[in-house]
Amino acid sequence: MGYNTQKYVDRGNVFANWLPGDKFWYRVLTPSGSDFVLVDAVKGTRTVAFDHDKLAASLSSATNKKYTGSMLPFQVINYSADGRSFTFRTDGKQWKYDRQNSSLVADTTKLLENAQRSGGFGRGNRGIEVLSPDRTKAAFIKDYNLWVKDTKTNEQKQLTFDGIKDFGYATDNAGWTNSEGAILRWSPDSKKIATFKQDQR
């Protein structure tokens, strides 16, 4: 029942996306839209992940579309190793936002570009790779199965083998969540992945 009621509950479910240094970010629904929040688990602090209004203004200017800080057109962000910046995708284009100086530029890094070609979510081969907290590995879906690759060598390894159409791994067609990447959770030490297999046959 949770996924049916989630849209009616503000600041309900929290799905932690772990980063190096025992930090994580999450996106939460609010009465006006959504917020991205950054948590330092060691210090016990919680802050906004970035200036939503400044990013919205920059993105509006760059795309000639109107966005607000509470209604940003993406749900997933990928932090840089130093946490200074992050990338996101919208309308098929990737952007990089610098949290320190609030600058936004078009981004063409290979990681997310390759993800669009190598695998994804939903119905087979679509989506964005999900980085491990230490950023050495990236998980993705290909041919309805879960794969990981080494972000330095691009070597790929298949983790599951029995996924088929409408009965695959880490897909968002369950209805309880939506993501531009595979639906999964990395462990904080980047050694394990938690996900599920959804039967839609």
pLDDT 10s digits, 161-199: 998 888 888 875 444 444 556 788 888 888 999 888 877
3 state SS of 88: strand
3 state SS of 57: helix
Say what the pLDDT of residue 102 is.
93
Domain limits of the chain? 110-195
Say what the pLDDT of residue 103 is.
95
Say what the pLDDT of residue 101 is.
93
User: Is a pLDDT exceeding 90 seen at residue 54?
Assistant: yes
Average confidence score pLDDT of the chain: 80
Please give the span between the terminal C-alpha atoms of the chain, in angstroms, as a whole number. 20
Share of the chain above pLDDT 90, in %: 38
Give every CB contact of residue 104 below 8 A, 6+ residues apart in sequence: 55, 58, 59, 62, 95, 96, 97, 98
Say what the pTM is.
0.57
* Residue 86, CB-side half-sphere exposure with 13 Å CA sphere: 19
Amino acid code (one letter) for 61: S
The per-residue pLDDT for range 20-38, each reduced to its tens digit, is 788 889 999 999 999 999 9
147-156 average pLDDT score = 90
- pLDDT: which is higher, 126 or 192: 192
Distance CA 95, CA 195 (A): 27
Distance CA 97, CA 37 (A): 15
Say what the pLDDT of residue 124 is.
37
